[in-house]
Amino acid sequence: MKVHEFSRLEAKLRLKTRNSSHRLAWFEYEGKVVTRTKRSHGNKDLPASLIRQQLKLNEEELSGVISCALEFDDYVEILRNKGLIPRART
Amino acid sequence: MQAMTISEATPQGMPIQAVTSETTLLSLVVRVDPPAPPREFLELLKRRSIVEEVLFAPNIDARLKITKPFLVTVKRREGIMTAYIEEINEFGYGSNSAEALYDLGRTLSELYFSLKDAADRLSPDLTSVWLKLAEHIQPRSA
């Protein structure tokens, strides 16, 4: 994974970010921190499979986010389906 | 496979580069006189996936102490050397295993303080990570 693809993940998934020793990124939903990941500063290639695991995405889903086929709402639904976000009560 | 141990006793808290079978094999290839091995063979050796397990407990931060070592898998993935702790789904990476382990140490320190600060608003999944992390890492007493 390239750094610009990580930046796309940040934007598409509306990850919150903070620069520290690393660039830390995390997904919050309804006030809860649900997933987190990070990358080093600089332009080194990133281990996509490990970032994907931290964001709870499979390969297809990760490709979908990077290619803009998946949006924020799709990510929320993915996390709901995995039981990481509670379903809204009706 | 016996895991190498990295502890605070390791100089500078940095891991000692392990001599792996990859190192040995690459050295052998370099010493071979003509005829040189086919280029494809050298490329295959470079890309071989060497998996190494390490017990990891170096000094990662002056404020923290690893009281129970992490089991770390050091492995090349997608051409990048990675150091991965399955138990807490955390990783470090770099161009070699020493860099990956050093990066992992810094990551653990950041993760500890990030999760601690957000402890009251973590999802159940991240709460589980925080609890496991706190089993391994304790603040140093003043």
Tokens of A30: 């309804």
Which pLDDT band, with edges at 50, 70 and 90, does B4 fall under? Answer: confident
Q: Is B114 on the interface with A (CB under 8 A)?
A: yes
Chain B residue at shortest CA distance from A55:
B89
Which pLDDT band, with edges at 50, 70 and 90, does B6 fall under? Answer: confident
Average confidence score pLDDT of chain B: 79
DSSP string, B52-95: EEEEEE----TTEEESSPEEEEEEEETTEEEEEEGGGTEEEEES
Range B48-60 average pLDDT: 83
d(C-alpha B7, C-alpha B37), whole Å: 39
To the nearest whole angstrom, how far is the Cα of B126 from the nearest Cα of chain A?
A: 7
Between B97-117 and B124-136, two packed helices, what is the crossing angle to 10 degrees? 120
pLDDT digit string, tens, across residues A69-87: 889 999 999 999 999 998 7
pLDDT digit string, tens, across residues B14-38: 554 544 444 443 333 444 455 555 5
Of A22, A40, A47, Cβ closest to residue B77: A47
Give A 22-81 residues with CB within 8 A of chain B. Answer: 22, 24, 26, 31-36, 38, 40, 44-50, 53-54
Peptide bond just before B11 cis, omega within 30 deg: no
Task: Give the per-residue pLDDT at B112.
Answer: 95
Range A45-62 average pLDDT: 94
Please report the number of interchain residue pairs, chain A to chain B, with beta-carbon separation below 8 angstroms. 63
Query: Does B77 contact A49 at a Cβ distance shorter than 8 Å?
Result: yes
Least confident of A28-32, A53-57, B8-12: B8-12
To the nearest whole angstrom, how far is the Cα of A34 from the nearest Cα of chain B?
A: 5
Of A1, A32, A47, Cβ closest to residue B82: A47
Across-strand partners of B53? B73
Task: Give the per-residue pLDDT at B7.
Answer: 74
CB contacts, 8 Å: A54 with chain B: 89-90
Give B 10-69 residues with CB within 8 A of chain A. Answer: none
Task: Give the per-residue pLDDT at A11.
Answer: 93
